[in-house]
Structure 1
Amino acid sequence: MRNLKWLYACSLAIAFGVLSFAAVSCHDDDDEPKQEPGEVIETPAPVVEYYIMGTVTDAGKGVSGVDVKIGTETIKTDKDGKFSVTETKTGKYSVEVAPKGYLAQNTSVEIAANAENRSVVTVAVALTKQSEPENVKKGEEATVKDNSDSNKDIPDPTTTPADEVVEDLPITTVEVTIPADALPESGTGINEDGSADISVTTYVPAPEEVTTDVKPAEENKDVEKTIPLAAAHFEPTGLEFVNPVTISIPNPIPDVTFAESDMQLAYLNTTTGKWDVQTSKVNLKNGSYQADIKHFSSYAVENKVTSKISSETVVKSEVLGQASRDNSENPKAVTGIALTYKEKSGWECKDADITNAVKSKLSGASDATINAMVAFFKTRLYSLMGSASGVKTTERTYNTVNVNGYTTMNYTCYAKTRTTTLSAKVLYKGNPVTISVTATRYTGTDHQYKTVTTNPTHSGGQGGSN
């Protein structure tokens, strides 16, 4: 009996101890200070915007104070001839430049519907002062040459080093020969005495369109293009001849010609703004490319080339902006952190790369031939890419963000590029040769923004990015 009483007493003591421990434990939990929740302040989404940037030049130099109409907005070029607009919508925007005394230039830029935020389109417009007219008498043969002030100092491509080539100048000028029996008795552009005041202005046409869009079917494929070897505007516009007149362009590259099958004549359709191919053939005669026309307008003697555009690439080696903030041990949010980056726009193709590409294909060529061929490629790239070579850096703000309590933030901005390979078929001393050069265009930016929020009372966390 005594043993049973002792066992009963021990059992009660143990039970009492367990209850006391539980009570103390619960009491201790209740007394522990509660962790302050992390402050949450919403960060707005980045503003959606696209950039159209460009330059207006005359003889390779920027022209300040020129009105540039982009869509419905008109802006002026700065002291260096540059302009820039920010758009919030995708679509096509017309670009018009028509200062007094110059040939008007029109083009368009397209921000594709699938363009990523902060995409950049660059475009250039080369202005040319109109040539003074020369009076051509009826019944007399005459040759009228370009006398534009913009073209009076066109450098000789055979003696111009690669780094001195002016990309937005023609490499040669155009002339027109009027036979004695070509002028009509009357009509548009005919004076009372039967003569006509005729002018020829060689110029570099603005690209028909510059776009961020590359059709998937055309990526990484050779696509045939035509680029003017030379283009000219003839006045009086609309003058129709009784018999054809001949436009002529001196071959600018010694020992190198273009196959007649790769040459064509086009005229600028003022209604559509497009270059329409003509049936008139382009022939190489006496060292010049020649074609017959029967009325005045703007004409271009074009040669066929191919262009291959690569897929867009995020260049992880080109970091344009970077920021981070560790707020993981602070319950309060940190606000107003500006995420900035240095945007790159434009394109580049190194002179040495062009020169080496030419030399590798034209074995034993003279310096004159090498120089002129390099000038040909640099001026063709200007037309193909839609702007002069060069990369511009612009500081921009991606977003102003808030880093919530118990959160870390990391931001990195990378450059995005495409390559364009221009290939031209030529006859070098009568033998067919294909020469290719590759340019790299900056197309936009890739923004990597990530936040990770942790719960200080538990391991692990939650993250977000955009």
Structure 2
Amino acid sequence: MKASKIFSRLIGAASATLLVAALVGAASCTKVPEPTPTPEPQPATYTIKGQVFNNTTKAYLPGVTVTMGTKTATTDSFGKFEFANLTTAGKYNIVLTKADFFSAQYSLEFPTAGLNHNLVYSITMTMVPYVPGITPLDPLAGGTINIEGGANDATLTFTSGTTVKDANGATVSGPINITAVEVNDIVITGLVNNPGIMTLRFEPSGLVFSKPLTITVDNPLTTYKYSELQLEYFNNTLSKWEVQATPVTFNAASNDYLTSITHFSLYKVSFQAPVVEEASSTESIKVLDSLMINRGLTPYNVTGIRYIEKQGYKFAEPLATTLTNLGITGADQTELIASITELVRNHFNGIAPLADFGTATYTKAIERTIQPMYYQVASANQTFTAKKFSIKVTNTAGTVTKTIEVRTIMAGQVDLMFEDLIYDDHAHAHLHGHDHGLGGGGTI
């Protein structure tokens, strides 16, 4: 009897040992899944996209060479260009060139963005075509030529007996093929920018004259005149405007502004009060590909994100309201609305203000990877920049002076932000209804 119990206990112990061994063996044969790598934050990128129009016809301008430092691009059939995924914040200077058009410049500056941010800056510009058929003029004989292309009438007058030298100091004799045309203002980011009633380019650039050449600009107003005007010269070497000592005067009898130059270059008749950059604001904009889920076993590469941005600029309040509040009505108001709109348009690269912002869907090219069982959330904010123009007018009798403060709001830079999150049970429950199970990766 004892022997039987002892045998039973031995059999039980052996069975237990075999069971434990089997369980250990089974556990050792089970493959432990490797953890999904946590996505690394990606450095910020910066993109500049733009569109160029003919300043005269307002048509798209293809074939424009766009130079930005060592980078170049060419506008397509819609006048569009893009410098995508730049890696450095800071100031960028853009120069547009095209045969039979005057060159144009634009400068912008990106703030430093954080990880997983993409900043996109949109610009719209115009280029002024050369004016054909300018009649040659001999400065020694003197004469007057019209300055073409502007909303205001303007002329350039040579006094007889004027001699000419080129940029190298060599004497130039005989008739000269002179181009005198109104162009758009050049606005340099980070520097003082005074709004101009007229920006003028004279070619051939670099010619120096022995006697001052008189510039006459017609006053677009009837019972008012612009006050505190000055003459500025654009220094190409330093890429900035410089105020000249030559005054801008007003001839009440002819209702004209008068000033003078002694060499051909780029000039501006401007207000002494600079344009003031006021506080900007931001608002969220719609991202069409805001949620992208990868439920598969392999990484999913994202190459583009679509969002809807606002475009253009507008007056903070209608000019008619601004002027009425100052007591300027009737024909005076109509003239000032037209004139102020023109000078603001020239400040904004020849682009006219809108009654309200336009909208457009844009696909931003990106290079991001969503790891298996992760999802990407994208959101976007757009910055709106405000500017104040202080325009001083005086009645022609000189007895009443008023300062017109005009504010503009421009739809500007877009900031795309990305976040990578693990797709666990909690996320699945939270995103229920958005998760369509797209296998190896996809967008929803």
Would you call these one fold, judging by a TM-score over 0.5? yes
The secondary structure found in structure 1 opposite 2:193 is: strand
Query: Of 307, 313, 328, which aligns to 2:276?
Result: 307
Q: Is the 8 A contact 2:309 2:382 kept in 1?
A: no
Query: Of 245, 254, 257, which aligns to 1:279?
Result: 245
The secondary structure found in structure 2 opposite 1:225 is: coil
Structure 1 residue 249: Cα displacement: 1.5
Task: Map 1:161-240; keep pairs closer than 5 Å.
Answer: 170-181=150-161, 183-184=162-163, 187-188=165-166, 192-193=173-174, 195-209=175-189, 225-240=193-208
Q: Is the 8 A contact 1:246 1:292 kept in 2?
A: yes
1:417 and 2:398 matched? no
Runs of at least 5 residues in structure 2 that lack an aligned partner in the other structure? 1-15, 427-444
Query: Of 341, 355, 360, which aligns to 1:377?
Result: 341
1:57 and 2:25 matched? no
Q: Is the 8 A contact 1:51 1:120 kept in 2?
A: yes
Q: Is the 8 A contact 2:152 2:217 kept in 1?
A: yes
After superposition, give the CA deviation of every residue in 1:256-279 in whole Å (9 maximum; x if it has no partner): 43212xx21111223323222100
Distance 1:199 1:398, change over 3 A: closer
Partner of 1:105: 104
Partner of 1:217: none
Residues of 2 paired with 1:144 and 1:399: CA distance?
56
Aligned CA RMSD, in angstroms, stands at 4.1
Structure 1 residue 137: Cα displacement: 4.2
Q: Which moved further from structure 2: 70-79 or 360-369?
A: 360-369
Distance 1:53 1:174, change over 3 A: farther
Query: Of 74, 80, 83, which aligns to 2:81?
Result: 83
Residues of 2 paired with 1:40 and 1:352: CA distance?
51
After superposition, give the CA deviation of every residue in 1:17-59 in whole Å (9 maximum; x if it has no partner): xxxxxx9xx99xx799999758515546447432122233221
Query: Of 433, 437, 449, which aligns to 2:403?
Result: 433
Residues of 2 paired with 1:411 and 1:384: CA distance?
35
Which AA in structure 2 matches 1:49?
T
Structure 1 residue 439: Cα displacement: 0.8
Residues of 2 paired with 1:367 and 1:334: CA distance?
70
Residues of 1 paired with 2:140 and 2:424: CA distance?
92
Residues of 1 paired with 2:308 and 2:132: CA distance?
37
Q: Is the 8 A contact 2:134 2:177 kept in 1?
A: yes
Query: Of 424, 430, 442, which aligns to 2:412?
Result: 442
Distance 1:416 1:237, change over 3 A: closer
Which AA in structure 2 matches 1:121?
Y
Structure 1 residue 201: Cα displacement: 1.6
Query: Of 306, 314, 329, which aligns to 1:342?
Result: 306
Q: Is the 8 A contact 1:283 1:291 kept in 2?
A: yes
Distance 1:401 1:254, change over 3 A: farther
The secondary structure found in structure 2 opposite 1:308 is: strand
Aligned residue pairs, count: 389
The secondary structure found in structure 2 opposite 1:358 is: helix
Q: Which moved further from structure 2: 77-86 or 100-109?
A: 100-109
After superposition, give the CA deviation of every residue in 1:255-311 in whole Å (9 maximum; x if it has no partner): 443212xx2111122332322210011112232221122222221111234323324
Structure 1 residue 455: Cα displacement: 8.0
Structure 1 residue 230: Cα displacement: 1.0
After superposition, give the CA deviation of every residue in 1:307-352 in whole Å (9 maximum; x if it has no partner): 2332453x2464554216496xxxx657427485334567433469
Which AA in structure 1 matches 2:212?
P
Residues of 1 paired with 2:218 and 2:288: CA distance?
46
After superposition, give the CA deviation of every residue in 1:136-192 in whole Å (9 maximum; x if it has no partner): 345644221124xxx2xxxxxxxxxxxxxxxxxx432532122234x12x6339654
1:142 and 2:143 matched? yes
Distance 1:455 1:39, change over 3 A: farther
Structure 1 residue 120: Cα displacement: 2.3
Share of identical aligned residues, percent?
A: 18
Partner of 1:129: 130
1:95 and 2:73 matched? no
Residues of 2 paired with 1:392 and 1:239: CA distance?
46
The secondary structure found in structure 2 opposite 1:134 is: coil
Runs of at least 5 residues in structure 1 that lack an aligned partner in the other structure? 1-22, 152-169, 215-222, 457-466
Q: Is the 8 A contact 1:323 1:412 kept in 2?
A: yes
Residues of 1 paired with 2:293 and 2:171: CA distance?
75
Task: Map 1:282-301; keep pairs closer than 5 Å.
Answer: 282-285=248-251, 286-301=254-269
Q: Is the 8 A contact 1:206 1:386 kept in 2?
A: no
Structure 1 residue 239: Cα displacement: 3.1
Q: Is the 8 A contact 1:63 1:77 kept in 2?
A: yes
Query: Of 287, 295, 318, which aligns to 1:354?
Result: 318
Q: Is the 8 A contact 1:307 1:423 kept in 2?
A: yes
